[in-house]
Structure 1
Amino acid sequence: MKIPINPIHVSEDAAREFKVDIDMMKMKIHMYPPSIQAFADKFFTIPRWFRYHGPINPSLRGFFDFNRKAIRHDIVLLENQIPWSVVDAITRFRPVDLEAFVAFWKQYLQDRKFLGGEKPLVLDASFEPPHLLGLLRFYIVGKGNTKPPTQVKTNMISFSVSAIELAENGIKLKANEETTELIHMGVNKRGIFAELSMAPLSLDDERASFLINMAALELCTTSNFQEAEPEDSAVCSYLLLLSLLVHREEEVQDLRTKHLLQGGAGLINKDALTFFTRLQSLSLRGSNCYVRIMMEIEKYKVKRRMQIKVHAFFYKNKRTIFAIFSVVGVLVSILGTLMSLKKRSMV
């Protein structure tokens, strides 16, 4: 006897399986999402050291040290991850100072290191990492303490911004050198104007790869950035914002001048511009932190309309204004000299 299939039960069973799969999304091992394929080359997603070397004799410690940069690159690749339960089991046989290890990576994206007075890193016992990349991303991103901005009283809001637009509106770029955590970015009032602050970055090919892999993890594990917590899309927000600030090599240099890009080593301006330009092609979506910053900028523009117009006029015409003042200064100097000569002749 053939038992009839109830389509409602089939649908409910499929929905339950899908929900279980979604709930376990953060704990799964992922492959690179299609949007990251623009970076699918040796610098970002392809292993360097383990690609050419085999399981090594422990006595070859010097060889490991010599290749530490390539090894460091490989262990944070998204597709190289293994479940944290396996890593945890291994560390029971070979103990690792996990606090010191995470503390090193927490400052990895910056050249400036805190040498004294910094509180020792305390691991969050409530956080269950999916794998090593997920563990490091959790502490590098940090936890946000900002509230969503109040609604902007305007009929339109822009979700893109450039360095020139910020400058014209009186918003200065500022490196937040008091933190290494990427989530601490935002617009702060400074008198009648404002500043956009972000954690600084020392950019070389290793760190660029690390950022791409953390962003890829966010894209794989967060189905809807706008409904997720800000921490779930902080790396994507950070990269999206940086990528929109540079369109020319001069703007990359401007980020260095403002200390948002640190150090003289690493990617030169041309290569850094290429990296940021490629980021603009990624589908980083409506990242929560990024949307918040765009709303903060719009709120500032609405409340400071008159000041912004005056500032924008002087900013756009500063060369002409400077030239006029220079000419006036020369004329005043000449006039003063002539008056002085006239007084002498009369004496």
Structure 2
Amino acid sequence: MDMMKQKMHRYPTCLGAVDKSYTVPRIVAIGPYHHGLEHLKQAEKVKHVAACHCIGDVQLLEEMYEKFVSVADDARRFYDKDVIEGISYDDFRHMMFFDACFLNTRELTNIFHDVMLLENQLPWKVVEKVLSFMAEDDPDGPSIPKRFVYKLRYCMQPDDHRERPEEEESFNWDDEYRPPHLLGLLHYYIVGRRSYIDKEKDEEPKNLSFFVSAMDLAEIGITLKANKTMQLLDMHLNQKGDVFIELSLAPLSLDRHRASHLVSMAAFELCTIESFGARSARDEDSAVCSYVMLLANLVYREEDVQELRERGLLQRGGGLTNSEALAFFTSVQGLRFGPCYTRIMKQIKNYRDNSRMKTKLHAFVHYHKKTIAAVVTGIGAVGGIIGTLLSIKKSI
């Protein structure tokens, strides 16, 4: 794994317009980037308690710390130099040790927003070192990451669709995958994997200079539909008969937590993949960027957000309001285009350009559907009256 993939990255400048509430921890700082912020200091006391609970014996805790030092010293190279230079070796070792113990507790769901932030990560080898200590005293210690991912890999799905498999065996844990940190581990299982498709040449997906809103899609006869797989990677334009086309995407219940997860996973992709179009890059390496950009491209007005809700792509009820969702999607439009995004946008453009008569018909129907419905209803009523008169005439 090269340094670009191992590094503990900061949010890229292209996400500078994103509200800070989506990128700053609310309860606890993990690692050095947000360490010392006033509103996070209370959690520092809890970390020491977590370490004692994690290891169990104070004397054993001291012995383990001595073995941990070399791993912590090596971890310094994964963080930005401008931050690390202001932290002594002793302070950094303490930070890594207590943060790693804190991450290896079983209560991470309460701080899931914070541990999913890109700038709130620990190198995985640091986490694994503490897990190895726990394995000496607790046989279940090494299974903590697996249980955590098993429980939270559905975190992006709407609440009423979180149907977990009944059997643990249905969860395919990849022992070969070596994540850079917890966010990388969760990204791997949340996005899913797809068979490798060879690319003809290394090429970054191009800006098509083509944009289409949710309302525009309806006008040209493309229907939005929530897919059944619930996977972010599963995005397709499907032909339905000779006339209708469906754009199928994973449904999303967009609240502040999930918006934050999307930002961090998209930032993770931007920071770890130099070129989304490289032959070595897979669709899943940029799946979140593609997914977010498709949704962002569909909303220019609050009416577009409402259209996504009507079609089941954005869940109704709690979460962000239409205006808040619009502001969020507007703030992430600086993301890089992934190949899934480019592929679908090309298909939409080709459909529009090659089916102009169909799209004109769909646009006419879309704009005059109320009038058409009234006319059809009127014709039905007239037909009913005529039928009644004829039956009366026959009976006379």
- Structure 1-normalised TM-score? 0.77
Task: Determine helix, strand or coil for the equivalent of 1:273.
Answer: helix
Task: Determine helix, strand or coil for the equivalent of 2:16.
Answer: helix
Q: For 1:113, give the aligned amino acid.
A: R
1:235 corresponds to 2:288? yes
Q: Is the 8 A contact 2:210 2:349 kept in 1?
A: no
Change (3 A) 1:133 1:278: same
1:100 corresponds to 2:153? no
**Number of residue-to-residue matches in the alignment:** 312
> 1:9-158 maps to which residues of 2 (within 5 A)?
23-41=2-20, 43-50=21-28, 51-53=40-42, 54-56=44-46, 57-58=49-50, 71-94=111-134, 95-97=141-143, 98-110=145-157, 111=159, 112-116=161-165, 120-145=170-195
1:245 corresponds to 2:245? no
Counterpart for residue 195 of structure 1: 246
Aligned partners of 1:79 and 1:32: how far apart in 2?
7
| Residue 337 of structure 1: how far off its partner (Å) | 7.9
Q: For 2:27, give the aligned amino acid.
A: W
* Deviations, residues 270-310 of structure 1 (Å, cap 9, x unaligned): 32222222223xx2122211001112223444554443333
> 1:250-289 maps to which residues of 2 (within 5 A)?
250-262=303-315, 264-280=317-333, 283-289=334-340
Task: Determine helix, strand or coil for the equivalent of 2:246.
Answer: strand
> 1:321-340 maps to which residues of 2 (within 5 A)?
321-326=372-377, 328=379
* Deviations, residues 146-176 of structure 1 (Å, cap 9, x unaligned): 86999xxxxxx66322112211222211111
CA-based RMSD:
3.4
1:177 corresponds to 2:228? yes
Counterpart for residue 220 of structure 1: 271
Which deviates more, 95-104 or 187-196?
95-104
| Residue 82 of structure 1: how far off its partner (Å) | 1.4
Aligned partners of 1:91 and 1:149: how far apart in 2?
39
Aligned partners of 2:248 and 2:117: how far apart in 1?
29
Aligned partners of 1:117 and 1:309: how far apart in 2?
49
> 1:3-14 maps to which residues of 2 (within 5 A)?
none
> 1:295-314 maps to which residues of 2 (within 5 A)?
295-301=346-352, 304-314=355-365
Change (3 A) 1:101 1:300: same
Change (3 A) 1:149 1:333: farther
Aligned partners of 1:290 and 1:47: how far apart in 2?
30
1:293 corresponds to 2:344? yes
Q: Is the 8 A contact 1:149 1:296 kept in 2?
A: no
Change (3 A) 1:158 1:170: farther
Aligned partners of 1:146 and 1:290: how far apart in 2?
17
| Residue 216 of structure 1: how far off its partner (Å) | 1.1
Partner of residue 210 from structure 2, selected from 142, 146, 159: 159
Task: Determine helix, strand or coil for the equivalent of 1:314.
Answer: helix
Change (3 A) 1:145 1:315: farther
Q: Is the 8 A contact 2:15 2:331 kept in 1?
A: no
Q: Is the 8 A contact 2:12 2:271 kept in 1?
A: yes
Q: For 2:170, give the aligned amino acid.
A: P
Identity score, percent: 46
Change (3 A) 1:116 1:82: closer
Change (3 A) 1:68 1:269: farther
| Residue 334 of structure 1: how far off its partner (Å) | 7.0
Q: For 1:187, give the aligned amino acid.
A: L
Task: Determine helix, strand or coil for the equivalent of 2:170.
Answer: coil
* Deviations, residues 116-139 of structure 1 (Å, cap 9, x unaligned): 456532222332211111111111
| Residue 143 of structure 1: how far off its partner (Å) | 1.5
Aligned partners of 1:138 and 1:68: how far apart in 2?
18
Aligned partners of 2:376 and 2:154: how far apart in 1?
47
Q: Is the 8 A contact 1:158 1:294 kept in 2?
A: no
| Residue 321 of structure 1: how far off its partner (Å) | 2.6
- Give ranges in structure 1 of 5+ residues lacking alignment: 1-19, 151-156
Counterpart for residue 14 of structure 1: none
Change (3 A) 1:26 1:302: same
Aligned partners of 1:160 and 1:103: how far apart in 2?
37
Task: Determine helix, strand or coil for the equivalent of 1:79.
Answer: coil
Aligned partners of 1:115 and 1:176: how far apart in 2?
17
Which deviates more, 328-337 or 44-53?
328-337
| Residue 231 of structure 1: how far off its partner (Å) | 1.4
Q: Is the 8 A contact 2:215 2:304 kept in 1?
A: no
| Residue 327 of structure 1: how far off its partner (Å) | 5.1
* Deviations, residues 62-120 of structure 1 (Å, cap 9, x unaligned): xx99x966621111111111111101111112314222211222100111112445653
Change (3 A) 1:60 1:37: farther
